Amino acid sequence: MNNKDAIERMHQRVGFLSYLPEPVTQDLDRAVDDYLESEKSRLNKAIDTGVQALPLWLRSIARSALR
Amino acid sequence: MNDLTTNLEIQIELEKLEQYLTLNDATWQALADAGTNNLRALREHIEQEMYDQHRKGFQHLASWTRWLSIKQLAKLAYAVGAKMAARLVGEMDPYFAVKVARRLTPDFLGEIAAQADPRKIREIIRRLPAETIREVALKQIQEKQFLLLGRFADALSAPSIREVVNAVKDDGALLNIAFYMENTTQLSNVIRMIDNSRLASIVRSGTENIDLWPKAIWVIDHVEGELKSRLGNIMAEQDERTLDSLVGVAHRQQLWGPVLRALSVINPRYHRKIVNLPALRNNSVITDLVNAAVSKNLLEETLPLVKAMQRDYQEVVAHTALRQGEEVAEAVVQAAHQSGQWDLILDLAQFLGDDERNMMAKLPSSHNPSVIEALMRNAAKSGKTDLLLDFARRFHREGLQTVVEISLRDGGDLLQAFLDAARDTRNGWQAIATAVSVVDAPDMLRDIGRVYQRQPPQDQQAFREAANETGLWPRLEQALPA
């Protein structure tokens, strides 16, 4: 699971999840992890492409900010 | 994920989660069972985690964009693409972000809106020119992005709302957008800005399309006060055939809660038309309606609708309500008592059989003196004392004592009314004799005797015979005033 911290936070903040049966929780954790991972990958791809389009002086700032 | 719930609010939240998650059926069902608020909390947390990715980096980058001109930023937005632009724009000062957005095409703005954190761009949307919003909305409607449009409609300014409503010719699309709005205060604001004829057309689009009807009733249910009755009246104006098919949908999709709430605020002149629709002449429909009225705490609002029903419909309602058991019967009596609708209860009670009347007489509320008094006074007022006498003989001892005590107030006016009714009621004298036979207190026996002595000789004789049978007469005779 690549988004363990995010999923832990989700269990801490969304109270009703603790009442769900184990198989349901596992399926939900997996789906949330998949979603966040795919979003992260799409965003990283957008950043990689986007940074190239920035003016040179802003490019390094963007690279270090969005590392 | 279909057919997990009939609750529209849960359906909306599940639909929103479905944009993000691929789950197995058991998980969807468990989530559907968790309720709207829990689902919303889960969805908002997932969105928060998603929009928090690289948030600090975008905040830092946004602080540098102030060194660029608006023209350069607009050019840059296209160059970095909608996804990155959406994240960047959410961290920019809305004042500059609006200036940049004005230079972008509606298509590209639509793409950005789909990728942006709605909470972050609300202020930008509010400040965008109405014409720009209109163009973006038209494009998104073309792509049937109602969920997205609903979320952003929450942030629209009044001029933008007017512009969009006037530009969108598809009433069903407007209804869909309204359905997905999250801020119900804003939903009411939007509806208020739509003129009556367009509003009628939008509601009609919901009533003419069975798929849209639940959405129309959801919208009606979520607008405020006078708007709810305005929309409800438009719905009620539809022809009987349309309304009949809508009753079918309401029944299948268990929409009785929203329907009853809407009906409770429509003009009463429509009640008769709606409650006597053929689709309501069905036991299972009536059962669901009664159960919804009880479970949604809408009995007080439902009773006037029952009053407007034809007698044969009322009879179905009476039997159906009692079939649901004591709890429902008690809730109906309490609702009638709270809202002063005893005349209806007495009308319905006439349809009840022996077992049903016995059940009513044993309800907890029949131990409540204020309920008994209200029942007696209304029975006397509406000339249904014979019905009351029939119930009285089924009452428990304390109930009977209360009946007698109340009937002796004000010089025995109520007892007199019951004696008058006894003449024309089968077993009427016996019913009164049984009721008063529970009295032991000498002062009450004396009061009964006084009323007895006012009666014509033939009534005195009839009562005496009945009182003899119940063993009351010797005690009463002793207490008779000289």
Other C-beta atoms lying within 10 Å of the C-beta of residue B21: 22
Per-residue pLDDT, averaged over B70-84, amounts to: 94
pLDDT of residue B349 exceeding 80: yes
For residue B2, what is the DSSP state? T
Nearest-CA residue of chain A relative to B36?
A16
Choose among B52, B101, B84: nearest CA to A52: B84
CA atoms of B363 and B373, how far apart (whole Å): 15
Interface residues of chain B, partner chain A, Cβ below 8 Å: 20-24, 26-27, 30-31, 34-35, 38, 41-42, 45-46, 49-50, 53-54, 56-58, 60-61, 64, 68, 76, 79-81, 83-85, 87
pLDDT tens per residue, range B424-482? 777 788 888 877 878 878 888 888 888 888 889 988 888 888 888 877 788 777 777 66
Q: How confident is the model at residue B146 (pLDDT cuts 50, 70, 90)?
A: very high
ipTM of the modeled complex? 0.95
As averages over each run of 10 residues, the pLDDT of chain A (67 residues) reads: 93 95 96 96 93 88 86
CB contact under 8 A, B53 and A43: yes
Mean pLDDT computed over every residue of chain B: 89
pLDDT of residue B205 exceeding 90: no
Choose among B126, B64, B118, B119: nearest CA to B101: B126
What pLDDT was estimated at residue B436?
80
Nearest-CA residue of chain B relative to A57?
B64
Other C-beta atoms lying within 10 Å of the C-beta of residue B448: 25
Domain map (residue ranges) of chain B: 368-482
Per-residue pLDDT, averaged over B62-79, amounts to: 91
pLDDT tens per residue, range B222-236? 998 889 999 999 999
Choose among B285, B293, B227: nearest CA to B260: B293
Length, in residues, of chain B: 482
For the residues of B171-212, what is the DSSP string, one character each?
A: HHHHHHHHHT-S-HHHHHHHHHTS-HHHHHHHHHHHHH-TTT
Please, which residues have CB within 8 angstroms of residue B446's CB and are 6 or more apart in sequence? B479, B480, B481
Considering chain B, what percentage of its residues have pLDDT values greater than 90?
A: 52
pLDDT of residue B2 exceeding 60: no
Mean pLDDT computed over every residue of chain A: 93
pLDDT tens per residue, range B240-251? 888 888 888 888
What pLDDT was estimated at residue B411?
83
What pLDDT was estimated at residue B5?
62
| B104 token code pair | 């972008």
CB contact under 8 A, A31 and B22: yes
pLDDT of residue B1 exceeding 60: no
pLDDT tens per residue, range B365-411? 888 889 988 988 898 888 888 788 788 878 888 888 888 888 888 88
Per-residue pLDDT, averaged over B40-62, amounts to: 94
Q: How confident is the model at residue B105 (pLDDT cuts 50, 70, 90)?
A: very high
User: Are the beta carbons of B195 and B176 closer than 8 angstroms?
Assistant: no
CA atoms of B397 and B438, how far apart (whole Å): 7
pLDDT tens per residue, range B317-342? 999 889 889 999 999 999 999 999 99
What pLDDT was estimated at residue B188?
93
What pLDDT was estimated at residue B31?
95
For residue B49, which residues of chain A lie inside 8 Å, CB to CB? Answer: 3, 6, 9-10, 32, 36
What pLDDT was estimated at residue B448?
84
CB contact under 8 A, A36 and B80: no
pLDDT of residue B4 exceeding 80: no
What pLDDT was estimated at residue B139?
94
Its sign, for the CA torsion B67, B72, B73, B79, is negative
What pLDDT was estimated at residue B468?
86
pLDDT of residue B363 exceeding 70: yes
Considering chain B, what percentage of its residues have pLDDT values greater than 70?
A: 98
What pLDDT was estimated at residue B482?
63
| B4 token code pair | 């997990």
What pLDDT was estimated at residue B271?
93
Domain map (residue ranges) of chain A: 4-65
For the residues of B245-309, what is the DSSP string, one character each?
A: HHHHHHHHTT-HHHHHHHHTTS-GGGHHHHHT-GGGS-HHHHHHHHHHHHHTT-HHHHHHHHHTS
What pLDDT was estimated at residue B481?
67
Q: How confident is the model at residue B100 (pLDDT cuts 50, 70, 90)?
A: very high
User: Are the beta carbons of A17 and A36 closer than 8 angstroms?
Assistant: no
What pLDDT was estimated at residue B442?
82
